[in-house]
Amino acid sequence: MKTINKKLVASLCGLLLAGQTTIAMAAPTPADAKAFIDKAEKQLAKLSENRFRALWVRDTFITKDSQEIAASAVEAFMAATVNLANEANAFSDVQLDDQTRRKLNLLKLSLSLPAPSDPAKINELSKLTSKLPGMYGKAKYCRPSGECLYEGDMSEIIGNSRNADELLEVWKGWRQVSPPMRKDYARMMELANEGAREFGYADLGAYWRSKYDMSASEFSQDLERVFGQVKPLYEALQCHVRAKLGETYGTDIVNQKEAIPAHLTGNMWAQDWANVYDLVAPKQIKASYDLTSIIKEKGMTEKDMVKSAEDFFVSLGMGKLPESFWTRSQFTKPQDRDVVCHASAEDIDGVEDLRIKMCIQRNAEDFKVIHHELGHLYYFRAYQNHSHLFKDSANGGFHEAIGDAIALSITPKYLKEIGLINKIPGAEEDIPALLRMALDKVAFLPWGLLVDKWRWQVASGEVKPENYNAAWWKLREQYQGIKAPEHRGEEHFDAGAKFHVPGSVSYTRYFVADIMQFQFHKALCDIAGNKDALHRCSIYGNQKAGTKLNDMLKMGMSQPWPQALKAMNGQTQMDATAMLEYFAPLQKWLDKENEGRTCGWQNRN
């Protein structure tokens, strides 16, 4: 063994400290960047699979142990991503090909919550990201009688009861889930903000908005532009619904100049109003079929409903799902344990381990939700041959929009083709069908925008923890024309009563999806040679449309999303024109119904 010359080492160290000499470091090269990305993708792919498996167990078997295991897997993935994202900065000034540069940027943006580089803070953030969804999943409200209700039970009551007192009780009862989360949520946002700033972003909100292939400020402006396109349609719908709810509950409860009380909309969060259709529907026109009743009358099981959705994609020329899908998915709520019932689709290994997690109800709503979730699975499968960082949709909204676009093809024509109805209703039933759809799609639009707007304001510091609730309800009144049914002070944390907030799941993508699904639907209908009105079109069985769709899905995240959209319909920006075309007959009907009514609302905040 050679002896180290300690005097020489000391002499060199002295020269370095004195600034009298330097040791040249080779500048990183394009080849170095490619080698780095290749190694990073392989590492993250393995850690990602471990994380998804742990999260699956946590969500389908909620225990302290499963939460701890999930937290450890999340922490490992988060720590590796943070370290790799920081290392990627070494290639910022290297001239690279577009694909390598895109992967480096995506690496920095790949986390839901970017963690600070401090290992202790990574550990703390990972525990919070596991703890908060677990608190949500186990939450229940126990009535004075001792009867305990879970989220699904309470949502059922909100959707079906017409007793204002019971609705208020249950609405308030569910919101007991979130105040205990408030302190942890504030800390989680603080840590994620710190991580976003280390990555070079102004705050967490700017980090999230930068995932859309444009600057954070440009994306915010684009969202407002698109919402402006659909605002007249939304305000007409809100005016009609408020008038009809006033007829049901009395104008002392539903003031005709103010926002609608949230507990009366048929949905726990007033994010859609489909469950009050019976109260707001045109009385002179009766629907000729009820899909929920048909599902039950035909004895369709939960798996039968999933099989119907699979058959839709098969009809477009796509293959059947793997056998493991049927044995590993959660279709119904187990009776022996707590689970997260919020519907989701999972790509466990990035190849063929595809699953959905639901507590399926045998009704029309979940029939559509299943088609939506399988849209995710077929997207996963289409881009499975890409490397890790390109295994995602063109943007977050694309992933949501694909399944929703397919669900728009669940028309009477489709239902007749698969044998669920015997006759396609005439044009006279279009308004009821469009109104029912609008109570879902149009009513959702401002909600889809404001959830993240609130989080962006929290991230920027515009909203402090001591003002969480006031800011939440200010946005809800401003954008939705929805108000709290009673005073909600800062002892409450009503934003946390929606899973996506404690779960740190992006919400803007749902707004993007709500708009773009109609762009996709129109493009696919045009490809299929549709001659019917847009709201009557179904692409079921059209393999030409299926091929066009799958070709776009195969792109994954390898190109900026405007290029993926262009591949589908020639457009390069989000646009609500197709949505307005879809609902044009309803807009005309609503305008007539609202004659003589006072539309709009006065904000209390």
Q: Is 342 a catalytic residue?
A: yes
Amino acid at 400: E
Q: Is 429 a catalytic residue?
A: no
Catalytic hit among 400, 401, 492, 513: 400
Catalytic hit among 240, 371, 376, 388: 376
- Give the residue extent of every domain in the chain: 1-139+177-200
Q: What is the pLDDT at residue 286?
A: 77
Q: What is the pLDDT at residue 8?
A: 35
Catalytic hit among 342, 388, 399, 521: 342
Q: What is the pLDDT at residue 10?
A: 41
Q: Is 40 a catalytic residue?
A: no
pTM of this prediction? Answer: 0.87
Q: What is the pLDDT at residue 272?
A: 95
Exposure class string for 145-163: b at 16+ Cβ within 10 A, else e: eeeebbbeebbebbbebee
Q: What is the pLDDT at residue 357?
A: 97
Nearest-10 crossing angle of helices 364-382, 396-407: 130
Q: What is the pLDDT at residue 86?
A: 84
Q: What is the pLDDT at residue 25?
A: 58
Q: Is 373 a catalytic residue?
A: yes
Cα 323–352–355 angle (5° rounding)? 65
Catalytic hit among 500, 528, 545, 593: 500
116 phi, psi to nearest 5 deg: -65, 165
Q: Indicate the pairing of strand 344-347 with strand 260-261.
A: unpaired
Spatial neighbors of 242 by CB under 8 A, at least 6 apart, are 254, 256, 260, 481, 601
Catalytic hit among 346, 373, 477, 593: 373
Q: Is 438 a catalytic residue?
A: no
- H/E element, 124: helix 119-138
Q: Indicate the pairing of strand 354-357 with strand 344-347.
A: antiparallel
Closest residue by Cα to residue 498 from 452, 564, 461: 452
Catalytic hit among 371, 372, 388, 535: 372
Closest residue by Cα to residue 516 from 361, 396, 353: 396
Q: What is the pLDDT at residue 396?
A: 87
**Per-10-residue mean pLDDT for the chain, 605 residues long?**
39 39 68 96 96 94 92 90 88 93 92 90 91 89 92 93 97 96 97 93 95 94 98 98 98 97 98 95 84 95 97 96 97 91 93 95 92 96 96 93 93 94 90 94 97 97 97 98 97 96 92 96 96 96 96 96 94 96 97 96 78
Q: Is 289 a catalytic residue?
A: no
Q: Is 263 a catalytic residue?
A: no
Q: Is 500 a catalytic residue?
A: yes
Catalytic hit among 141, 383, 507, 510: 510
